[in-house]
Every structure is written in C-alpha cells, then in structure tokens.
Amino acid sequence: MRIGMLTGGGDCPGLNAVIRAAVRKGIQHYGDEFVGFMEGWRGVIDNVTMPLDLKTTSGILHKGGTILRSSRTNVKKIPGGFEKCLETIEKNKLDALIALGGDDTQSISLALSEREVKCVGVPKTIDNDLSGTDVCFGFDTAVTIATEAVDRLHSTAEAHNRVLVVEVMGRDAGWIAITAGIAGGADAILVPEKPIDIDEVCRLLKYRHDHGKKFAIVVAAEGAQFPEGGQATQGTSVDSFGHVRLSGIGQALAEEIEKRTKYETRSVNLGHTQRGGTPTAYDRMLATRYGVAAIDLVHAGKFGQLVVLKGTQITSIPIADAISKTRTVGEDLFDVMTSLQPPKSTV
C-alpha cells in the first residue's frame, strides 16, 4: 500500500518514535511505501512531501520534535482546502493516511474520512486530554520535565524563604499540573477543572508557614479558571482552530499570594520546555506501540479509527468519539491531592 503520514498541532516528544515504528513495520512486514507530508495539513494542501523510508527514519527514536515538522493548519478555514487535500491524495496515489495529532488534527482526519479518505489517527498531545485513550504519548515526558522542575525549585525556594508558583501547560485539562504537582510534592495545585480558590491556597501556605516551613511550591495549570470565570491569556488573538494563547496565571497568582500573605512570591513559567527534547522510555514505548498498531489498523481496513491505550492494551475507537469531548481530571485524583493537604477545619 502507499501510505501518507503527517504530524499536526503542537509537537510532542514521541512523534518520531511513532513515525519510525509505522514505517519499519509497514516496509518490512507489509511491503508498504510511505509519503511524509511536511508541517501537518499544510503539507497535504500544498503537496509538500519528504520520503519516509528505513533510511530517513533511522536514528530518530530518541529525538524530540518531528522530522515531518508541524503546524496548526485548519483545512476547514482554507478556501478549497479539502479539495486540495483530495487532489494531493490522488496525485500521490495514496491508499491510506495516518495523522498524528490531538483533537484539532483529528477533526480534519474525521472530515476527510467523511469524504471517503481512508484515515487512521494516532493520539498525540502532552495535555493528555483526548477522550477514549487512557494516555497520549508525550504526556509522560512533559510530566517528568515538570516534576524535575518542581524538585529543583524546592531548593531555591527554601534558600530564599519564598513561595514559587510554577505554571505548566495543559490547556483546559489539569493532567500535567496535578500529576507533576503530586509527584513533586507541591503545597497547592490549581487546575482548570476547579475554579481557583485563592483563600484556600493562602490557607494552605499559611498552615505550612506556621508549621515551620518558610517556603512553598504552588503548581498552576495555564488554563486554571479565575473564580469569576475566564483564564489568563496572552493577547486576544486566536489560532486557526480558535484557541487563544494561555499564559500568565502563574504571575497573576504570585502577585495575589504575596499581597495576601506577605510572603515573598515569584512565578516560573515552564512553557515549551515541557514539549522539547528527548522522550522518556515510557513515551518511546507507547509511541512505538501506537505506530505498529496504526499500520496494522490500515492493513485490517479499519479506517476512521484512532489507536488508543485502554489499561495496558492497545485498541482502537472511532475518531469521532475521541474528539467529542475534552478528557479532564477525575475526582479520584483530586481526592489524592486533598488527602495530602491539611483539612479545611485545621485553619
């Protein structure tokens, strides 16, 4: 078969591992040929390609980013976009297309599936917010980086008797914040799923201070909600999928905490550091399993499907089910978080 492949949306560690695994299994076990599209859907619209073979996918397993590059190109917003995609697919004589991406990228896979294109999706996002899969590759690496940052910030916070507010990514889901927060032993964790309760944050910090620890760490998800509603944003412009850039909650919280508690407070925004660099062993393994599963799905003729992880097993679900709703943090993890904090009755 001739199979196209692309990576769309924000990059994430493990993309190259998926590409390598799919190409290796496809060429060596099924006799497939591959066409790599550059910069997500933009490459399909403009027919910009690179060869994907055993040579071009060699030595990339441990590398972050994506050899196919990425973009947030929304085919729906480009006049004649879908027609151009169909032309490219025809020109390259493709039998199938594998798209690696989150909900925005997969919404285009779905629209193309509805136009008879044989698409298979692979769930990618450090935010871990795609429904239907227990884990997206890239998440483990982002959490590992954020946890290491929280560990490192402890010593400098302690040396200066400071509160440090660490802002992490995640868009409208608090997976990175709650996981890195609990794993890193943060004193307060703020996520988009629960509106910020600044009185409660200050109570936790004051309790800690009064019990002998003159420093503290707060982890805040970039998408944490102000009590009156709304999120901290950088400007008002939106990307082609309508997302505003989230940023600034860490600084806003640091100012408010210092004002209320009088403890010296600073903020650190981990930003794109969380997405860069080499994937963890867990992400390399998961990405490799997804790559193999994607090519097997193509050969099983199961199109319009997304490979997913359920428990410890790789399986697949309709792409439509994966993008219908953001997967957010459940009460079980909030319970773990609050179990580690002094209850409200303790002042």
- 127 as an active site residue: the answer is yes
Nearest CB to ligand F6P, comparing residues 153 and 169 = 169
Stretch that binds ligand F6P, among 23-31, 156-164, 168-176, 228-236 (CB under 6 A): 168-176
265 Cβ contact list (under 8 Å, min separation 6) = 162, 163, 164, 165, 254, 255, 257, 258
Residue least distant from ligand F6P (Cβ): 169
Binding mask 71-110 for ligand F6P (x = CB under 6 A): -------------------------------x--------
Binding mask 293-312 for ligand F6P (x = CB under 6 A): --------------------
Nearest CB to ligand F6P, comparing residues 32 and 222 = 222
Q: Which of 132, 170, 181, 279 binds ligand F6P (CB under 6 A)?
A: 170
The CA distance from 73 to 75, in Å, is 6
- Give the nearest distance from C-beta 272 to ligand F6P in angstroms: 6
Q: Which of 32, 39, 103, 127 binds ligand F6P (CB under 6 A)?
A: 127
Nearest CB to ligand F6P, comparing residues 140 and 222 = 222
Residue with tokens 């100012």: 255
- Give the nearest distance from C-beta 115 to ligand F6P in angstroms: 26
- Give the nearest distance from C-beta 109 to ligand F6P in angstroms: 17
Nearest CB to ligand F6P, comparing residues 39 and 127 = 127
Under rule CB under 6 A, how many of the chain's residues touch ligand F6P? 11
Stretch that binds ligand F6P, among 23-31, 38-46, 108-116, 124-132 (CB under 6 A): 124-132
Q: Which of 11, 32, 104, 127 is catalytic?
A: 127
- Give the nearest distance from C-beta 271 to ligand F6P in angstroms: 8
Q: Which of 18, 153, 163, 169 binds ligand F6P (CB under 6 A)?
A: 169
Sheet with 96-101, edge to edge strand ranges: 49-52, 33-37, 2-7, 96-101, 119-123, 305-310, 313-318
Nearest CB to ligand F6P, comparing residues 193 and 222 = 222
279 binds ligand F6P (CB under 6 A): no
171 binds ligand F6P (CB under 6 A): yes
Q: Which of 208, 275, 284, 289 binds ligand F6P (CB under 6 A)?
A: 275
Among 170, 119, 155, 164, CA closest to 302 = 119
* Positions marked catalytic: 127
Could you list the residues that contact ligand F6P (CB under 6 A)? 10, 102, 125-127, 169-171, 222, 246, 275
